[in-house]
Amino acid sequence: MSSESDPHVRIGDTVCSGFLFDMDGVVTDTARVHERAWARLFDEFLDERGAGDPHFTTDDYLNYVDGRPRVDGVASFLASRSIDLAHGAASDPPDANTVCGLAARKDALFLHELDAHGVDAFPGTVALIGRLREAGVPVALVTASRNAERVLTAAGLVDSFDARVDGIDVDNLALAGKPDPATYLEGARRLGLSADRCVVLEDAIAGVEAGRRGGFGVVVGVDRTHHADALRAAGADVVVSDLGDLEVRFG
């Protein structure tokens, strides 16, 4: 689906013809916004239960919700606390005491945080995207967020990608969420490339697992929260603290 004559770069010894970027924590500094929203959601929910459950922690965020679709994140965290809650339906309102209702409440909390605090893009990532596009190497955004358009617009990056797969596509195409590789495979398809010619760039353990399961050429872990060993264990070939440190050879 691509050849050595196509625009490409090398990471180590691997020829790469396309780059697939996660959004939260890789392109935009929204992971902290999400973590605050998740913490408020679950702390309020646990307090309402009145069972003395310990509050939501950063480890909970990294292990159970980071990089996953909202509904999957809710279900994963509740399972970790052995809490059984009806699944409900996608149309459930934020005050419904269901998995889908909690997911809707989290979305409202995230948008409140976004409107209150805005969002920044990581300069190292923006610079890498610019270098890749200047060299003619296609780039795609792959995220579970249904708010990708809003986040990218706030960050001034809405026109920075050749293709995008977001939470709306996940719903419309019935794509499995990370750590399943379906969204990244769809991103590669939209760039017209095979998985083995693409780089996945992720900060979430679930996203790194998706890249490894999908047979992508290189999986880059972006360690924003000091969990480099966990990213490597999940399958990252390379781990950097910022994409400005990623060694990419052009030409």
pLDDT (tens digit per residue) in 7-34: 889 999 999 999 999 999 999 998 788 8
Name the CATH superfamily for 9-30+120-250.
Answer: HAD superfamily/HAD-like (3.40.50.1000)
Alpha carbon distance 140, 188 (integer Å) = 8
Given 24, 60, 169, 223, the catalytic residue: 24
Q: Annotated catalytic, 22?
A: yes
pLDDT at position 207 is 95
Both tokens of 223, joined, read: 């360690």
pLDDT at position 6 is 75
Supply the DSSP symbol for 24.
B
List, by residue range, all CATH 3.40.50.1000 domains of the chain.
9-30+120-250
Strands of 93-161 (E only): list them. Answer: 139-142
Both tokens of 215, joined, read: 């047979």
Alpha carbon distance 144, 69 (integer Å) = 5
Q: Per-residue confidence at 67, pLDDT binned at 50, 70, 90? A: confident
- Would you tell me the crossing angle of helices 70-80 and 31-49 to the nearest 10 degrees? 50
Percent of the chain beyond pLDDT 70?
A: 98
Q: Do the Cβ atoms of 140 and 106 come closer than 8 Å?
A: no
Given 13, 22, 43, 115, the catalytic residue: 22
* 195 pLDDT higher than 80: yes
| Polymer length in residues for the chain | 251
Domain 32-117 top-level CATH class: mainly alpha
pLDDT at position 123 is 97
Is the torsion defined by CA of 176, 177, 182, 188 positive or negative? positive
The structure's pTM equals 0.80
List, by residue range, all CATH 1.10.150 domains of the chain.
32-117
H or E element, residue 39: helix 31-49
Contacts of 32 (CB under 8 A, 6+ apart): none
Q: Annotated catalytic, 24?
A: yes
Q: Per-residue confidence at 105, pLDDT binned at 50, 70, 90? A: very high
